[in-house]
Amino acid sequence: MPELITVCWANGKPYQAIYGQHGEMEILNPIEPRVHSTMDALLREVKSIFPSNYIHLGMDEVYDLCWRSNPNVSRWMTDNKINSTRDLHSYYANRILDTMRNISAITIVWQDVWDEKVELPPGTIVQIWKAGQGYNVILSSPWYINYINYGHYRTNTTIVNLEFFKYCEVEPLRDFSGSDDAKIRILGGEACLWGEFVDGTNLLARLWPKTAAVAERLWSAASVNNSEDAQFRLDVHRCRLLRRGIPAQPILNGYCGNYELSMPNSMINDPAFNYDISPATDLTTTTIKSNPATSYLFDATSSMITSIFASLLLLINITLVTISFKY
């Protein structure tokens, strides 16, 4: 729905992209009434379909250059005594939060909304990457798994661990200086993979097995903190992922056997990991005759879709479950 997106301007002309600043169109247009009616309908539909009463609204690091370039937005801000694009974002956030209040859903937002002094509904959960106060929170700042470093990761006892095992080293409540009331407000954590340099070619390799390292930390008691031990267990898990056709990146220099992707014994096409999802009303059986090349392409495509779907299910599982730990 392009009518919901802000038109960016330059040199007095609409639909102008400025490299490094903004595209021709980007970001929802908060002065467009249809944005708010659409978001209201969308959130109500989400609430009716999904069993969870939690809805994450995002709202972090709003990029405002397109808003600032648009004379219609500027004029509307003046007419409505909105003095900055930060205040404009607050206006939008308040409209969306009104919908959340009306549908009795529990709101999750990034902390930027709290930083902007928006009045959050009671029970709101704030996902923090800088700081938070007075709300239940989800911790994310230690687990930005899109960051890449090379080589070993040094601990007090070893330098064998690879870089991403720093995610296992995080202990959310170690050296915590807040009150007991503040401590119990830390509900859990979530791994984040930001997409500036991620697409379908490297998504799964970036996710796995780093995300498994985060799960290891969040599902374990504080006393389970031997990353040296964890790297061998997760190396085995990485091999399990490869067997299922998920291209998880290496942990150690070990070899997972000849079931790695594209190798003869790869289980990517094994019936255990591929499912018949034909429509329930279709009671006929169709035989497709094809030459080997066509058959190969068909198998590869269906396997790829199955692999991605399975990986997303694993990610969803981790995302949901790791938002819960208590000490």
Kindly list the catalytic residues: 61
Please state the φ and ψ torsions of residue 187, each to the nearest 5 degrees: -80, -30
| 12: region left, alpha or beta (phi > 0 left; psi from -120 to 50 alpha) | left
Owner of token pair 């003046």: 78
How many degrees, rounded to 5, is the angle at CA 68 between CA 67 and CA 73?
Answer: 60
Q: Which of 74, 91, 105 is nearest to 35 (CA)?
A: 91
Distances (CA, A) of 297 to 58, 127, 290, 291: 38, 42, 10, 10
- Cβ of 167: how many Cβ atoms within 10 Å? 25
Dihedral (C-alpha) 25, 59, 120, 94: value to the nearest 10 degrees?
Answer: 0
Q: Which of 168, 199, 303 is nearest to 246 (CA)?
A: 303
Owner of token pair 């990457």: 129
Coil, strand or helix: which one is 2? helix
E strands present in 111-218? 125-128, 136-139, 186-189
Contact criterion met (CB below 8 Å) for 163 and 296? no
Owner of token pair 């009716």: 48
Q: Which residues contact 285 (CB under 8 A, 6 or more apart)?
A: none
